[in-house]
Amino acid sequence: MTTTPLKFYQIGSFAVGNRLVTADERSTQSDADRTNALTSGHRACQGCGEALGARYALDTAMRAAKDQIIAVNATGCLEVFSTPYPESSWRIAWLHSLFGNAPAVASGVAAALKAKGRTDIRVVGQGGDGATVDIGFGALSGMFERNDDVLYICYDNEAYMNTGVQRSGATPPAARTATTQAVGSAPGNVFGQGKFLPRIAMAHEIPYVATASIADLRDLEAKVTKAMEYRGARYIHILVPCPLGWGSASCDTIKIARLATQSGLFPLFEAVNGEMITSTPIRKKVDVEEYLKLQGRYSHLFSPKRNDEVINHLQRMADKNIERYNLMGDM
């Protein structure tokens, strides 16, 4: 774990802030003068995890880069809900081009800044899982491979939510989407396909790769801050539940993100130069069922008839993560 536990007994380092801890021990989000990179009035759905993840990550990056940031955004929910012409919710320098080319544009911005000698200005590329793991993947891999000085952040809500919840390469098995209906003998998305991009990023042996969750703010902020200390290509993959696409209550967004990590389905770890260096231990272990049953996209696993085979399969995936990433902290 990259965060230092506070020696404070009431709520430890889990809450956003606290009046009893010193200002430098509080999260960026607890600061009344935080950047608010993505400000009010944006048109994201109620309880949007991506809006939250973007503000968390960019506010932290702004603090780390002393407010010198240019963000390059791929097409997707985040771009559509934040910038319907001529409005913008962004309070940072922000650039949008196409769905598939955000990593390439970010590389270009970095190259331009380098040419101008403005290495104090840092570049952040960002996009959803569709733009990152599918459409823009080639450009992203190139950016990694050239080790361009860009922090790329993927807000993973596990499908193409903006266009109507179609399956992406990051959609988990058994999940219902518009293109993987809960019908037939193997309802929902198939097992054994898709990709987990953090591991692919690690295979590029770039300086820094990390996963993060909106349910663990301090861990997320620590990782973004750390990523900003490196030069070269860096990648952070943040799980951001989507109430609309996942069929969950808008008030449960953070709870679901928390259950994803506490069940082991979404491991939190960081890797330097291709090697995993730390993972965040599970604090209160839960079965995957706790996570699944809050989401309409998995409701076919529980009704009309409980599908133990699939639930167990998902549990095995979680168990494998726990072992692979040492999530019970017994290493």
Partner 1 sequence: MERPFAITLGVGSSLANHTGSWRVEHPEYLHRMPPCNKACPAGENIQNWLYIAEDGSYEAAWNELIKENPFPAVMGRVCYHPCQTACNRGELDEAVGINSVERFLGDYAIEHGWEIAPPTKESGFKVLVIGAGPAGLSAAYHLRRAGHAVVIKDATHAPGGMMRYGIPKYRLPREILDAEIARIAKMGVQIQLNTRVDDVHDELEAFDAVFLAIGAQLSKRAYIPAGESARILDAISVLHDVENGTPPLLGRKVVVYGGGNTAMDVARTAKRLGAEEAIVVYRRTRDKAPANDLEVTEALEEGILIKWLSTVNHVDGGKLTVEKMQLDESGFPQPTGEFEDLEADSLILALGQEVDFSLLGNSADLDVVNGTMPVDSTMMTTHPGIFAGGDMIPAERTVTTSIGHGKKAARNIDAWLQGKSIEVNLEKTPVTINDLNTWYYTDAPHAVRERLEASRRVSDFSEVVKGLDESTALYEARRCMSCGNCFECDNCFGVCPDNAIKKLGPGLGYEIDLDYCKGCGICVSECPASAIQMFPDN
Give the residues lining the site for partner 1 (CB under 8 A).
8-12, 14-20, 26-27, 29-30, 32, 36, 38-49, 51-52, 55, 82, 85-89, 217, 243, 249-255, 258, 284
Nearest approach, Cβ of 211 to partner 1 (angstroms)?
Answer: 19
Min separation Cβ 331 and partner 1, Å: 21
The distance of closest approach from Cβ of residue 238 to partner 1 in the complex, given in angstroms and rounded to an integer, is 14
Q: How far is the CB of 89 from partner 1 (least distance, A)?
A: 4
Are 57 and 111 in contact by the 8 Å Cβ rule? The answer is: no
Closest approach of Cβ 318 to partner 1, in Å?
19
C-alpha 77/C-alpha 84 separation (Å) is 11
Q: Which residues contact 135 (CB under 8 A, 6 or more apart)?
A: 74, 99, 100
3-class DSSP assignment, residue 314: helix
Contact of 46 with 33, CB cutoff 8 Å: no
SS3 44: coil
3-state secondary structure of 68: coil
Contact predicate 21/32, CB 8 Å: no
CB contact at 8 A, 13 and 283: no
The nearer residue to partner 1, 22 or 185, going by C-beta atoms, is: 22
H or E element that contains 211: strand 208-213
19 versus 116: smaller Cβ distance to partner 1: 19
Q: How far is the CB of 125 from partner 1 (least distance, A)?
A: 22
What is the spatial distance between Cα 30 and Cα 17, in angstroms, rounded to a whole number? Answer: 5
Q: Which is nearer to partner 1, 250 or 273 (CB)?
A: 250
State the minimum distance, in angstroms, from the CB of residue 273 to partner 1.
Answer: 32
237 or 258: CB nearest partner 1: 258
Report d(CA 198, CA 156) in Å as an integer. Answer: 11
Question: Given the complex with partner 1, which of 89 and 295 has the nearer CB atom?
Answer: 89
CB 299 → partner 1: shortest distance, Å? 20
156/163 Cα distance (integer angstroms): 15
Q: Is residue 5 classed exposed, middle or buried when 0-12, 13-18 and 19+ CB atoms within 10 A define those classes?
A: exposed
- CA dist 42 and 141 (Å) reads 31
* Nearest of 92, 98, 57 to residue 79 by alpha carbon: 98
When the beta carbons of 21 and 135 are compared against partner 1, the nearer one is: 21
Output 44 or 228, the one with its CB closest to partner 1.
Answer: 44
For partner 1, the closer of residues 200 and 254 by Cβ is 254
What is the C-alpha to C-alpha distance for residues 55 and 42, in angstroms, rounded to an integer? 12
